[in-house]
Chain A
């Protein structure tokens, strides 16, 4: 009976619904009009949220770029001071041997100091003289030496030469030191500023493009410090990272996607790969410290260790991106190949992998960009050391660009502020370059297919 009753009820409900369906809709009624208006308003609102979000993102990006650019652009220029240097044979080569070894060991610093004393003969007190010598950088003597070694005829002559200035004078010339504030509150005293003004008036101060910044390694003297050592260190580190993480990551992705049976074990592997991608990078640094340095005794501070550590960190990113790219290859292509009698490996290498390559490359380059910007794990394995020499290989001690930025940001000298920003610009330029490469490679592969 109850069945019958419920059946009747259902019938009745169905009747009401079908009656409603049969009723014509009045598309001009105010209710419908209100509904349409509301829908349009919601759409406009949604669009404007998106615009605001993009606007905020752009604003943040512009602020960042402007702040870094305005602080850092001056690092690409360096103040030089013109002095009359006498290449005194008594100092350079007293016996007139012309032996490069003798010339190389000569006291060129003394020549520069002599030149400064000649330029400002009234400076006599010890402390004033010490300040006076600060006009020219300590590194200028190396330039002089090279000049003489290149052209020994200079010995005995007097030449007007542009010498790289000390960092405080460089800062003054770039306007970062305000001569109007109280003497005790600035790096340079009144006398030093008078000398500077004197030199400027004589036209003996100028800014030149600072090639040394791009060609030399780190230094305690800001005017001598360059980015090249860190760039080369980054290059070796990334090469090691790529050489390890790309093949391992892609092979792991292929195995998991195409060959692995779907069971509990592979599920656990999958979950853990996703977990690894979220592990803080410092943990990988500790792992690298323990395994590579303490157990395997690989050289400390070397790009090879940095690369090994970063490879661990990049692997999950590459595996996840590669798996997504492989999964996106339509199954019909696999079936077509298998149906023709291609073996599973042939199917993968001839069809799936080439089709997935653009996605895999994008993922890899994103991983590499991450590795390029990574600092924390490298601190753990000693790549934070102060290294002046430019590394000649993956086993030499080195530092990398982000660590160099960290080191400079930590240095007290005013002149390192602009170096820090300039180094950030160089790092960003590398990132842009890498992303450009990613886009180019992707386009190229896509055209081929």
Chain B
């Protein structure tokens, strides 16, 4: 790619009162550097979309936000990531609690091979969020309701979750994440395994969830980013190239590479 790198181009990376921030974030898989000096703020109760070509580091960055990269051998991280101003890589931070506060939805729907009810109830159970069966029932119902799934499954809560369709499974995974009352929900290409109808439902859901949660979504679909997000960050070759209001990124990108990517010239 013959585009000259202009690292100073990361326009307006900071926002007022960010929910999460990343500062000078470098990440290495053993010897290979996957992220270079990423500076990004995640505004509260908004949807931030991370876009970029395959292998650009957007999923890697997402997984830094709830320390899922800790589970991979040979990963080293430099720089700071904060949640409400506190460094999440601090030794005193309990990673288990952190992941309860920052939920995650994965690319492929991955319900546990248990009943629908048990899937949603799992998080509250392990974190001891409930004192009685009734409370748990209520959390499960509310979570399913929020994920727009209750109507479809309320008659078969005890049937296996793996019997649901792909789109339903993904919404179940969202309900499962919502059930532990997270503050941030990370979504890693949540619609890439879904058909257009299921995708539309999940997108609608993301828009509704915004009023209660801070959402970061990785997506390959530019249209999706444009539809659901308020802010968009464009990653390329492990660097954050440009970030800004979604409208601005899609109508008036400042960087040549961003322009090239969103107009479909590469990626």
B108: A residues at CB distance < 8 A: 332
Of the listed stretches A159-167, A232-240, A334-342, A380-388, chain B binds A334-342
For window 134-177 of chain B, which residues contact chain A by CB distance below 8 Å? 160, 173, 176-177
- Of all chain B residues, the one with the shortest Cβ separation from A261 is B73
CB of B96 within 8 A of chain A?
Answer: yes
CB of B68 within 8 A of chain A?
Answer: yes
B: interface residue count bin:
20 to 34
Question: Measured between alpha carbons, how far is A400 from B111 in the docked complex, in Å?
Answer: 47
Say yes or no: A346 contacts B126, CB within 8 Å.
yes
Checking A262, A330, A341, A350 against B99 with a beta-carbon cut-off of 8 angstroms, the contacting residue is A341
Say yes or no: A338 contacts B113, CB within 8 Å.
no
What are the 8 closest A-B residue pairs judged by CB atoms, nearest first?
A: A341-B100, A339-B104, A332-B110, A341-B99, A336-B110, A340-B123, A449-B113, A343-B96
Say yes or no: B73 contacts A338, CB within 8 Å.
no
Say yes or no: B177 contacts A340, CB within 8 Å.
yes
Given A341-B126, A341-B127, A449-B114, do A336 and B96 touch, yes or no (CB 8 Å)?
Answer: no
CB of B180 within 8 A of chain A?
Answer: yes
Question: Measured between alpha carbons, how far is A339 from B97 in the docked complex, in Å?
Answer: 10
CB distance from B149 to the nearest CB of A (A): 16
CB of A351 within 8 A of chain B?
Answer: yes
B160: A residues at CB distance < 8 A: 449
Q: Mark A319-355, 1 if CB is under 8 A from B, else 0.
A: 0000000000010111111111111001000110001
Given A261-B73, A262-B73, A449-B113, do A340 and B100 touch, yes or no (CB 8 Å)?
Answer: yes
Question: Measured between alpha carbons, how far is A261 from B71 in the docked complex, in Å?
Answer: 11
For window 34-50 of chain B, which residues contact chain A by CB distance below 8 Å? none
B127: A residues at CB distance < 8 A: 341
- Of all chain B residues, the one with the shortest Cβ separation from A342 is B126
Given A336-B110, A449-B113, do A342 and B66 touch, yes or no (CB 8 Å)?
Answer: no
Say yes or no: B66 contacts A339, CB within 8 Å.
yes
Given A332-B108, A351-B112, A449-B114, do A338 and B180 touch, yes or no (CB 8 Å)?
Answer: no
Q: Mark B63-101, 1 if CB is under 8 A from A, else 0.
A: 000101001010000000000000000000000111110
Say yes or no: A341 contacts B97, CB within 8 Å.
yes
CB of B106 within 8 A of chain A?
Answer: yes
A342: B residues at CB distance < 8 A: 96, 122, 126
18 contacts between A and B (CB under 8 A): A261-B73, A332-B106, A332-B108, A333-B112, A335-B68, A337-B112, A337-B122, A338-B99, A339-B66, A339-B104, A340-B100, A340-B123, A340-B176, A341-B97, A341-B123, A341-B126, A343-B96, A346-B126
B111: A residues at CB distance < 8 A: 336
Say yes or no: B110 contacts A335, CB within 8 Å.
yes
- Of all chain B residues, the one with the shortest Cβ separation from A351 is B112
CB of B103 within 8 A of chain A?
Answer: yes
Question: Measured between alpha carbons, how far is A261 from B98 in the docked complex, in Å?
Answer: 23
A338: B residues at CB distance < 8 A: 68, 71, 99
Say yes or no: A340 contacts B180, CB within 8 Å.
yes
B98: A residues at CB distance < 8 A: 341
CB distance from B121 to the nearest CB of A (A): 11
Say yes or no: A341 contacts B96, CB within 8 Å.
yes
Q: Mark A429-449, 1 if CB is under 8 A from B, else 0.
A: 000000000000000000001
CB distance from A265 to the nearest CB of B (A): 14
Known A337-B122, A338-B68; further 10 A-B contacts with Cβ < 8 A: A332-B110, A338-B71, A339-B177, A340-B177, A340-B180, A341-B123, A342-B96, A342-B122, A343-B96, A355-B113
A339: B residues at CB distance < 8 A: 66, 68, 99, 103-106, 177
B123: A residues at CB distance < 8 A: 340-341
Question: Measured between alpha carbons, how far is A351 from B112 in the docked complex, in Å?
Answer: 8
A355: B residues at CB distance < 8 A: 113
A residues apposed to B, CB below 8 Å: 261-262, 330, 332-343, 346, 350-351, 355, 449
CB distance from A347 to the nearest CB of B (A): 9
Say yes or no: B96 contacts A333, CB within 8 Å.
no
Question: Measured between alpha carbons, how far is A413 from B98 in the docked complex, in Å?
Answer: 76
B177: A residues at CB distance < 8 A: 339-340
A341: B residues at CB distance < 8 A: 96-100, 123, 126-127, 180
B66: A residues at CB distance < 8 A: 339
CB distance from A84 to the nearest CB of B (A): 72
Question: Measured between alpha carbons, how far is A351 from B113 in the docked complex, in Å?
Answer: 9
CB distance from B170 to the nearest CB of A (A): 12
Question: Measured between alpha carbons, how far is A336 from B66 in the docked complex, in Å?
Answer: 13
Question: Measured between alpha carbons, how far is A334 from B112 in the docked complex, in Å?
Answer: 9
Say yes or no: B122 contacts A340, CB within 8 Å.
yes
CB distance from A219 to the nearest CB of B (A): 54
Question: Measured between alpha carbons, how far is A340 from B118 in the docked complex, in Å?
Answer: 13
- Of all chain A residues, the one with the shortest Cβ separation from B105 is A339
CB distance from B22 to the nearest CB of A (A): 19
- Of all chain A residues, the one with the shortest Cβ separation from B113 is A449
A336: B residues at CB distance < 8 A: 106, 110-112, 173, 176
Question: Measured between alpha carbons, how far is A350 from B119 in the docked complex, in Å?
Answer: 12
CB distance from B180 to the nearest CB of A (A): 6
- Of all chain A residues, the one with the shortest Cβ separation from B66 is A339
Question: Measured between alpha carbons, how far is A415 from B153 in the docked complex, in Å?
Answer: 69
CB distance from A9 to the nearest CB of B (A): 28
Question: Measured between alpha carbons, how far is A343 from B104 in the docked complex, in Å?
Answer: 15
B180: A residues at CB distance < 8 A: 340-341
- Of all chain B residues, the one with the shortest Cβ separation from A338 is B71
Question: Measured between alpha carbons, how far is A95 from B178 in the docked complex, in Å?
Answer: 93
Question: Measured between alpha carbons, how far is A351 from B125 in the docked complex, in Å?
Answer: 14
- Of all chain B residues, the one with the shortest Cβ separation from A262 is B73
Say yes or no: A340 contacts B126, CB within 8 Å.
yes
Question: Measured between alpha carbons, how far is A343 from B108 in the docked complex, in Å?
Answer: 22
CB distance from A345 to the nearest CB of B (A): 10
Question: Measured between alpha carbons, how far is A352 from B261 in the docked complex, in Å?
Answer: 40
Question: Measured between alpha carbons, how far is A338 from B98 in the docked complex, in Å?
Answer: 11
A333: B residues at CB distance < 8 A: 110, 112-113
CB distance from B122 to the nearest CB of A (A): 6
Question: Measured between alpha carbons, how far is A332 from B169 in the docked complex, in Å?
Answer: 13
A350: B residues at CB distance < 8 A: 122, 126
Question: Measured between alpha carbons, how far is A106 from B131 in the docked complex, in Å?
Answer: 75
Question: Measured between alpha carbons, how far is A346 from B99 in the docked complex, in Å?
Answer: 14
- Of all chain A residues, the one with the shortest Cβ separation from B119 is A336
Checking B73, B99, B114 against A340 with a beta-carbon cut-off of 8 angstroms, the contacting residue is B99
- Of all chain B residues, the one with the shortest Cβ separation from A354 is B113
Question: Measured between alpha carbons, how far is A145 from B142 in the docked complex, in Å?
Answer: 79
A346: B residues at CB distance < 8 A: 126
